[in-house]
Amino acid sequence: MEQDALDVYLKLPSQHYNTGWVLSQVGKAHFELVDYFEADRAFSLARNGSLYSLEGMDIYSTVLYHLKEEMKLSYLAQELISTDRCAMGNCYSLQKDHETALKNFQRAVHLDSRFTYAHTLCGHEYVAMEDFENGIKCYQNALQVDERHYNAWYGLGVVYLRQEKFEFAEHHFRRAFHINPRSSVLMCYLGMALHSEKRYEDALEMTEMAIIADMKNPLPMYQKANILVSLERYDEALRVLEQLKENEPRESSIYALMGKIYKRGNMHDKAMFYYGLALDLKPPATDVAAIKSAIEKLYLPDEMEDAL
């Protein structure tokens, strides 16, 4: 649907295409397709052509958040501070100040109770603070305004995945996927839910679709390797990870999974080498604990190893 919209916009005469409103719609379409670089380019052009328009600026701020463009996001937030609290909220969220981000998103909801995306952004901040109950309420509020707001269905799926309610997670990711069937992110998370339900072949098929949908997104490749490990197809998993680390050489989880695979093959020296590489890259605290636990149990049978 989004690609069809882009094709239509590209057929417009240049004087119509290069207007703030059309360029904002182009930016939104690229955002839905998870092409953040093209979205940034379109929104930047829209902003230059219509400085005082607020059309799509909430989405633009989220694009900058995903691109980790902290300076551009801060500048946008300062320009919009009196009118668009979502840009300010995304700025604080990028800085991991989730409480201040939440206050800005709540302010946006207070100013417009039917601002669907603001409800969802509130949910994301609650989930970041592990307040799942309020996160769920916010996502449900968003869906009461617009039941086709796939971001809220996705948010609910993430909550249920983290709570290990895998069937609920699958249901909500599938609802989001049906609304936005071109999103590699939604395909990937749906694959993760299917993997958690031990539906490995279904999970692998969905993850392959996610890879094809966005070759630049490393997450589906990593999830594919995880699924292949569950299927005990270790050589294939290693080939995927070798390819992945060429593009993401500083992602600790890649090396941790390689360590796990070599441990399964009783190649303990190689396992220790890759676990060490993973620790050298300073992963999050929870991952550090899991990797150290795996190292301590390196010579124990696989069934006694904690899952990474």
Q: What is the CATH number of the domain that holds 214?
A: 1.25.40.10
219 shares a domain with 207: yes
Tell me, yes or no, whether 258 and 201 share the same domain: no
Is there a domain that residue 199 lies in?
Answer: yes
Single out the residue in 209, 231, 249 at which a domain terminates: 249
What is the rounded distance in angstroms from the CA atom of residue 194 to the CA atom of residue 167? 8
pTM of the model: 0.76
- Tell me the average pLDDT across 232-252: 95
To 5 degrees, how large is the angle CA 19–CA 25–CA 28? Answer: 140
Within-domain flag for 244 = yes
Convert the pLDDT of each residue in 119-138 to its tens digit: 999 999 999 999 999 999 99
Asked whether residue 176 is assigned to any structural domain, the reply reads yes
Domain count, the chain: 2
Residue 42 lies in a domain: no
Indicate the range of 15-24, 114-123, 148-157 predicted with least confidence: 15-24
- In this predicted structure, what is the pLDDT of residue 307? 46
Residue 143 backbone dihedrals phi, psi, to 5 degrees: -70, -25
265 in the same domain as 302: yes
User: What does the pLDDT look like over 179-204, one tens digit per residue?
Assistant: 989 889 999 999 999 999 999 999 99
Whole-number pLDDT of residue 62: 83
Residue-level pLDDT at 51? 47
Check whether residue 235 and residue 260 sit in a common domain: no
Q: Is 53 within a domain?
A: no
Tokens of 149: 């707001």
Across the range 74-96, mean pLDDT stands at 72
Give a yes or no: residue 141 inside a domain: no
Structure tokens at 227: 């699924």
d(CA 274, CA 269) in angstroms, rounded, equals 9
Q: Which domain holds residue 257?
A: 250-308
- Distance CA(173)–CA(158), nearest Å, equals 8
Q: Could you read off the pLDDT of 142-183 as tens digits, one per residue?
A: 999 999 999 999 999 999 999 999 999 999 999 999 998 988
Question: Minimal CA–CA distance to 167: which of 178, 179, 156, 181?
Answer: 156
Q: Is residue 109 part of a domain?
A: no
Single out the residue in 217, 249, 281 at which a domain terminates: 249
128, part of any domain: no
- CA neighbor of 295 nearest in space, from 267, 243, 260: 260
